[in-house]
Structure 1
Amino acid sequence: MSAMSRATTLRARLIPARGKTAPSTRPVSFFEFWPGWLFYAPVVLFWILKSIRYGSVTLPALANPRIAAGGICGESKNDIFDLAGPTARAWIADYAGMTTSGHNDGNDLALAQAAMAEAKLSYPVVAKPDMSCNGVGVRVVHDADELKSYLAAFPRATRLQLQSLVTMPGEAGIFYIRHPHEKTGRITSVTLKFPPTVTGDGKRSIRSLIAADSRLAAVSRLLLPKLGAKAERVPALGEAVRLVFVGNHCRGSTFKDGLNIVTPALTAQIDAIVQDVQDLYFSRIDLRYETLEDLQAGKNFKIIEFNGSGSEATNIWDPAMPLLTAYKTQFFHYGQSFKIGATIRAQGRKTIGLLGLFSLWRYQKRLMAAYPAND
């Protein structure tokens, strides 16, 4: 069974079939696509109140003191992975970091292939910016020609990451928190991610299949412009077509709250991994897994990324999530980042200043505007 078929089977197990759900089931939560300023206004107010209480706007940057700004913004994916010891490294998808040349006639492809050879990577690989968020600039490259095109469109003298393409069908985001004085950490949120996918019937086009699915129809404005002419293709009977690569709700993926799948075995394995990443206390871990049973047993998964203090518990984007619960989840997690930061500050460490954080944010935003289009 192919990875796509296994993913479709997993989706069917965990998401009820369209048209057979209870009347209260929504394809999209009523706040999922609110303007960012509107949804995050209470979160910003909460952050301000915590800043007043703790005497620092940027205190959460100390929640992961070895990461730039703690991962609020401007962090390096490669640098975070480089903090991992041998235990954690075994669970991370293989990767190689590189920096594009500072001039247009540099041989970036040769640099990339040398980095891949050293890391023992082979095509296909996932090319992604070293500094980015929300899947911006992420693309699967299948051969040297595609990698050359990606690098040609990438900003000059800028770092990126090449990572092995993990084909395990399941995707999840697991939030982990440990306070510096605690011997063990805990999982505080799990998001099971299901990318937008259609299954062909040999008759209808991808566009028609999207229109026939309540969730996909609701997010078609995100999908169809990206698909372009591909939307008119008629998939074969039983052919599963993944519409986007990046598993992000703002790109059409369905997120489901999965905290109920957490087991002692999964918690113990995640705790062992994170404790082998230097001074990582507050992180959402994005990973891919073979089966849900494997994930619960703490085996057969690969970590794609560690996110820092700027990450959120993405289970809030479950269409069934009440708005009040979503805000409680946000307040809990960001409140924990302030508490951890306060503990580390008491050890004598200093946090980044507000101007420094703003400069990092502006730099990241400028880079993100220059990255190649993502899959």
Structure 2
Amino acid sequence: MRLFRKILNSNFFIRLRRWEYWPFEIFQFPVILYWLWLSVKARSLMFFAASNPGIPMGGMFGESKYDILLKLPAHLRPGMLLMKFPVSYEQVMLALDQNGLKFPLVFKPDIGERGFMVERIFSADDVKAYCKKIKVDFIIQELVDLPVECGVFYIRKPTETTGRVTSLNLKEMLTVTGDGRRTLRELILDNERSKLQWERLRVKYHDKLETILAAGESWEINSIGNHCLGTKFINGEQYITPELERSFDAISKQVDGFFFGRFDLRCENLEALYQGRVKILELNGCGAEPAHIYEPGFSLTTAWRTIFRHWDEMYSISAHHAKHGIKYPSLKEGLAVYRKYKAAVT
């Protein structure tokens, strides 16, 4: 019985019974087939690039996160710098000093995905360690420590004067809570979500694993709001209101050539979100997903239907732009961008 329980609680069976943990390629397989069908209709494998004419490849891959954020008004984004690779530790420290940026900060690749190399930086030693391993251009961002982190998916058709918020995803950071008996190691391994992150967490907390947390004491063991890093996604569709849509209409129309994608942001509370008082950490184009589907227990078939509906919207926007003179990239052009992008994230 003990062996049976151990097998059922293995990482393999955790992932098997919870599709939100499935490998990207497996979950996305039906989506790939749907993309191919839409490509036949569009007569272009790269039709998606026309969904957001103001973003290279529409934001599917290879776009500069820094350049996209610069399209936003300064009050809506954190203070930030772009560091061009190669760059030395000394050059980074000088840039921080010259621009008045203070720890803690967030460092992340300018071209990246799914939390790759996104780190909170607390000290000069952290800067030195990051500079040793980063091999691409990267962004330095002020740490936005507002309590609510979420993703807002927005769509506006070129023929419409107003758009819609089609997904609101709230994020709950990976946290363990002590009971006065178990060590941090035991708390991590006794929780499905954190157990899947064990290889990374045991390195990060190597000197704290035998610490016993007091009863009720909570530790946030991952502060990067990415599902791949253990963040719990919560469906916030019930909080989508006309006021929220008006606010994101106003924000989105300030981003030239943007019609379809997701704002990843932090804010003080839902009221601030409704009023557009937010700090946008990233603006993701047509490669973004309506991330509320990753809520634990969300139906797999409903998740696929939701993504297909969003792809239908993307296709419709792209087709309209194509009819009005925006050309789809050739397959050769798209593959060149994709190869450069994959080289940057692997």
Indicate the TM-score class for this superposition, using the shorter chain for normalisation. 0.7 to 0.9
Note if contact 1:29-1:321 (Cα within 8 Å) is conserved in structure 2: no
**CA shift for structure 1 position 113:** 3.9
Deviations, residues 15-47 of structure 1 (Å, cap 9, x unaligned): xxxxxxxxxxx9997322234333222111111
For 2:40, the aligned partner's letter is I
Structure-1 residue corresponding to 2:84: 99
Deviations, residues 98-150 of structure 1 (Å, cap 9, x unaligned): 2023xxxx6x3343345445654221110000000001011111122321221
Note if contact 1:29-1:320 (Cα within 8 Å) is conserved in structure 2: no
Structure-1 residue corresponding to 2:56: 68
C-alpha distance in 2 between matches for 1:259 and 1:318: 11
Candidates 170, 173, 182, aligned match of 2:160 = 182
Deviations, residues 32-71 of structure 1 (Å, cap 9, x unaligned): 2234333222111111111111211111111111212111
Q: TM-score, normalised by structure 1?
A: 0.81
Three-state SS of the structure 2 residue aligned to 1:176 is strand
Structure-2 residue corresponding to 1:21: none
Three-state SS of the structure 2 residue aligned to 1:219 is helix
Candidates 215, 231, 236, aligned match of 1:258 = 236
Task: Sort the Cα spacing of 1:28 and 1:171 in 2 relative to 1 into closer, same or farther, 3 A.
Answer: farther
Three-state SS of the structure 2 residue aligned to 1:37 is helix
**CA shift for structure 1 position 315:** 1.2
Candidates 183, 203, 226, aligned match of 1:248 = 226
Output the aligned Cα RMSD: 2.2
- Percent pairwise identity: 36
Structure-1 residue corresponding to 2:4: none
**CA shift for structure 1 position 354:** 2.0
Deviations, residues 262-304 of structure 1 (Å, cap 9, x unaligned): 1222221111111101111111111112223432x32543111
Unaligned stretches of 5+ residues in structure 1: 1-25, 370-375
Deviations, residues 208-239 of structure 1 (Å, cap 9, x unaligned): 32355xxxx22344222112134332234443
Paired positions, count: 329
**CA shift for structure 1 position 358:** 2.3
199-208 vs 172-181, greater mean Cα deviation: 199-208
Structure-1 residue corresponding to 2:120: 140
Candidates 254, 263, 271, aligned match of 1:285 = 263
Superposition map of 1:159-170 within 5 A: 159-170=137-148
273-282 vs 298-307, greater mean Cα deviation: 298-307
Structure-1 residue corresponding to 2:320: 343
Note if contact 1:77-1:305 (Cα within 8 Å) is conserved in structure 2: yes
Candidates 170, 188, 212, aligned match of 1:210 = 188
C-alpha distance in 2 between matches for 1:143 and 1:333: 41
Structure-2 residue corresponding to 1:19: none
> Are 1:59 and 2:47 matched, yes or no?
yes
Structure-1 residue corresponding to 2:201: 227
Deviations, residues 63-87 of structure 1 (Å, cap 9, x unaligned): 1112121111111001101222x3x
